[in-house]
Amino acid sequence: MKIKLLFAFGLLSMLVLTACQSGSKKTANGETLVMIETDYGNMKVKLYNSTPNHRDNFIKLAKEGYYNELLFHRVISGFMIQGGDPHSKNAPANAMLGGGGPDYNLEPEFGKFHFKGALAAARLSDQANPRKRSSGSQFYIVQGGPVSADMLQGMAAQKGITYSQEDLQRYQSVGGTPFLDNEYTVFGEVIEGLDVIDKIAGQPTNEANRPQQDIRMKVRVL
């Protein structure tokens, strides 16, 4: 009996250890990875540990299946692609979107910049939202374009931001939307699938910037 119990306990320990080891994948820096799947390809995203509230909220919603079958409902070529409105799931073609979300907002967690591929939280305008609190679910992914050194210097002076040399080089080569820095919370970035952003951003849209053909997403934690 003791041998059987010890064997059973050992087997249970191995199962628990295996379950723990098969949990969420992380980067070398311990950042959680998620996959945003679309008909135009997949985008692998790492979520920053420096924005824990936004990170944890995104993980929670993804695990609940909140984002599955929602649309990228607002697409502006050369700027960004936006999704996460729960009203978009079964929205008719002429529906105005962008006002949906859970019954909470998130306090801003500024500090990361809007390079191409940045995952950032959408929010209401400053007039309606002077604290710059983030939507509970809506997000956008930056496309942008290369930024000149002069523009970056002017932006840095205007916003009181000190960009490192690496930041400046990244904006000038990869591109982004630096005018949004310290205005919206960036809480992750696409590390694989930057071309998918370009494909989605290039789709024809109506006057409200909604793609003429629905672009649905599925978000899962890796």
pLDDT reported for residue 3: 39
The CA-to-CA distance between both ends of the chain, in Å, stands at: 41
The answer to whether 106 touches 53, Cβ cutoff 8 Å, is yes
Q: What is the pLDDT of residues 90-144, one digit of tens each?
A: 999 889 999 999 999 999 999 999 999 999 999 999 999 999 999 999 999 999 9
Question: From start to end of 58-185, where are the E strands?
Answer: 72-76, 80-83, 105-106, 118-121, 134-135, 139-142
pLDDT reported for residue 9: 39
The answer to whether 137 touches 61, Cβ cutoff 8 Å, is yes
Is 25-221 a domain of CATH 2.40.100.10?
Answer: yes
Tell me phi and psi for residue 42, to 5 degrees: -110, 150
CA–CA separation, 43 vs 180, rounded Å?
22
Token pair of 116 as six digits: 């191409």
Q: What is the pLDDT of residues 136-153, one digit of tens each?
A: 999 999 999 999 999 999
pLDDT reported for residue 199: 98
Mean pLDDT over the full length of the chain: 91
pLDDT reported for residue 11: 43
Q: Where are the domains of the chain?
A: 25-221
Task: Name the burial class of residue 32, with classes exposed (0-12), middle (13-18) and buried (19+) by CB atoms within 10 angstroms of its CB.
Answer: buried
Instruction: Tell me the residue type at 138.
Output: Q
Q: Is 130 helix (H, G, I), strand (E, B) or coil?
A: coil
The enclosing H or E element of 44 equals strand 41-47
- CA–chain centroid gap for 72, Å, is 12
User: Is-above-0.85 flag for pTM?
Assistant: yes
pLDDT tens for the chain, residues 1 to 222? 443 443 343 444 444 444 444 466 788 889 999 999 999 999 999 999 999 999 999 999 999 999 999 999 999 999 999 999 999 999 998 899 999 999 999 999 999 999 999 999 999 999 999 999 999 999 999 999 999 999 999 999 999 999 999 999 999 999 999 999 999 999 999 999 999 999 999 999 999 999 999 999 999 999
pLDDT reported for residue 5: 41
Sign of the torsion formed by the C-alpha atoms of 55, 123, 208 and 92: positive
Burial 85-96 (b: 16+ CB within 10 A, else e): bbbbeebeeeee
